[in-house]
Structure 1
Amino acid sequence: MNEVKICGASSLCTPISDGESHIPQSVLVSTDQRCSSSSVQYTPEIEKKYVHRVYDAIAPHFSSTRYAKWPKVATFLNSLPSGSLVLDAGCGNGKYLGLNSGCFFIGCDISAPLINICADRGHEVVVADAVNLPYRSGYGDAAISIAVLHHLSTGSRRKKAIDELVRVVKKGGLVLITVWAVEQEDRSLVDKWTPLTEKYFEEWIGSSSPHARSSPSITLESIPEAEENSLGEHVKGFKDLTSQSQDPLVTSENGQNLENQQEFFVPWHLPYHRAEVSGASACALANGLAKKDDKKGAVVYNRYYHVFSEGELERLVSGMGNAVVVDRFYDKSNWCIVLQKTI
């Protein structure tokens, strides 16, 4: 089996190996450099529990459902010049790696089980955090982030992930980003999602943050991004979530108001026949991370999503001095932008 390197913040800096590395050391930023930034050291608890742990648990089943390529992504990749090096941040099971046979691809994802799937398929991959990419600045000719940013729980983390995508490409390099849209084509799907409410607030920020000392009434475990603005952003987001207008026409099937709602739990149904052979599912059921649905014969996991409103991606990049938006479009319930690095 190929080596899978673990890169990123906090403890995610130790390689695990039973073979030769697929990625030359010259490609990667040094461990000290990757781990020195306090702004990406802390991951919000909601992402740890409802993104990282969930995708680790459902990886084989998730991968089996991810094989169709989005035409717009395929068009972007096939438009790149022959010989281009493409960095896929949040590559999942690697369905886009190698799509353009004339280009070279390197993928990364926070989920080690998904990266192991990619490595078994012969792809050049590494486990890494989207807000702290392990690549040297200006290394790639292009980068893609497909359905990743909506799993980051604050605006500062989403902006940092975009900054990282631009950082790792060369001047003139292109970056394609896609995210789930608030404006879903099939509104019946939204009815199956769970809007986040007050009961999830403590899991959003956690108890080991320095803010816990000055805010004893709030249980904190971790904070994202710079300390001076993270708590205020979380509190603002929480107030936004709990102060929606009470329009009875915009509700979920359980009667919850969805006007302007952007934070959701989206269920993933892992069939019993797959869950029975998964120790992760047994643990998830025991600790409350998942629940059984006997009617559907599945273990149900909740995945955290921040769905994007029209123009939100553009607003995140509006202050960037090293990139411009060269294309924007809506495709299959996703907002998408293409950036070009200018300096």
Structure 2
Amino acid sequence: MSKRRSRFRMAAAPEGGSPPQQADLELVARREERKYVHEVYDAIAGSFSATRAGTWPGIRAFLGALPAGSLVLDAGCGNGRYMSLAPLSGAGDLCRPLAELAAENHLPGVPPNEVAVAHSLALPHRAGLFDACISIAVIHHFMTTQRRIASILEMARVLGIGGVGLVTAWALPGSRPGTCPGCSDTSAGSRAGFRALFASSCPGLERPMPATGPVLCHICAEARQAAPTEPIIENEQDLLVGWQLPREAPHAQQPPQKQSPASDRDLTRYYHFFREFELENLVQMASMQLAASTTGAESLHIRSVGWEKENWSIVFEKVRHSEPTHN
């Protein structure tokens, strides 16, 4: 069981320097996402895929309610588990090993899936092509608000008018009223900032269970580590979550190798845990940007907000207005 204490320092200004600008934040976010998201998934693709075999009722219901013949895109498809539920029209994931698994995760008698190795912020698909687009457990890996908005706008770009999008994201423990009383207090021990010590995995939950530390939520069974004494950007929503690869039995002639600090770091993933209403706010901001770029002709309409297995979800529709607004 890992005892490491992960610290994440993003876009810190040089000593005596000015705060970072938006362009600087974008560069830092790209670099840190590559380090704490993309490279990690490349390393853990096999063991991660083994924990992602089931499908969730809410997502099944969304896909099942689509009209027959709908063109559907899975943006950030992982191992393609929802492709085995129903034939999708397209999929993409930046992790090549997962994309390769997704290509083969199809219904019997159905040709292999068309899966692109693609970033969710730059999908290789034609604008307005799809009737529906799903983004399952992807948006919480983006490190800035604007990049989260950009992921929604990219979904909107590939949707036709009347097309619907589904986004899911990990919820901050205690963010759903009445569900996590242990996480609702404001004691110092509940603040973890950019760090976490989740090490073991619970088969009944999508989220890793705590390795050590005080249990702040007896329902979610989550724990947070106390903040280090050195001040960094304090935000209980942004955490580094560990992943343990299965241990292989050593050969008889070879002593077991200790994991290096670098590989320890590389198995730590960044997550932004969402509060209540946060997904709605992102969709609304994306809608405002879409309306501005189309002179008010297009926007996003929130159809529903849901909660399932400690995840928030939101369904939105891309709509066209009959009379564009003019400034």
TM over 0.5: yes
TM-score normalised by L of structure 2 = 0.64
Deviations 1:286-327 (A, max 9, x none): 571426xxxxxxxx8211001111111111121313211010
Given the alignment, which residue of 135, 140, 164 partners 1:145? Answer: 135
Structure 1: how far apart are the matches of 2:132 and 2:250? 37
Q: CA deviation at 1:43?
A: 5.3
Which residue is equivalent to 1:95?
81
Structure 2: how far apart are the matches of 1:107 and 1:253? 35
Are 1:269 and 2:250 counterparts?
A: no
Contact 2:71 2:131 in 1 (8 A): yes
Structure 1: how far apart are the matches of 2:259 and 2:39? 12
Are 1:308 and 2:274 counterparts?
A: yes
Given the alignment, which residue of 111, 119, 129 partners 2:103? Answer: 119
Structure 2: how far apart are the matches of 1:124 and 1:108? 8
Contact 1:98 1:105 in 2 (8 A): no
Are 1:342 and 2:319 counterparts?
A: yes
Structure 2: how far apart are the matches of 1:150 and 1:59? 18
Q: CA deviation at 1:44?
A: 2.2
Letter of the structure 2 residue corresponding to residue 313 of structure 1: L
> Aligned with 2:50: secondary structure?
helix
Are 1:57 and 2:43 counterparts?
A: yes
Q: Which 4+ residue blocks in structure 1 deviate beyond 4 angstroms?
A: 39-43, 184-189, 191-194, 249-253, 284-287
Deviations 1:25-65 (A, max 9, x none): xxxxxxxxxxxxxx988852221111001100010111111
The percent of aligned pairs where both chains have the same amino acid is 40
Contact 1:59 1:114 in 2 (8 A): yes
Structure 2: how far apart are the matches of 1:62 and 1:341? 33
Are 1:71 and 2:57 counterparts?
A: yes
Which residue is equivalent to 1:14?
none
Deviations 1:47-99 (A, max 9, x none): 11110011000101111111110100000001111111100000000001142
Gapped runs of 5+ residues in structure 1?
1-38, 198-248, 277-281, 292-299
Q: How does 1:245-256 map to 2 (within 5 A)?
A: 254-256=225-227
Structure 1: how far apart are the matches of 2:84 and 2:68? 12
Structure 1: how far apart are the matches of 2:35 and 2:192? 16
Contact 1:49 1:289 in 2 (8 A): no
Q: CA deviation at 1:275?
A: 11
Structure 1: how far apart are the matches of 2:142 and 2:69? 32
Structure 1: how far apart are the matches of 2:191 and 2:250? 22
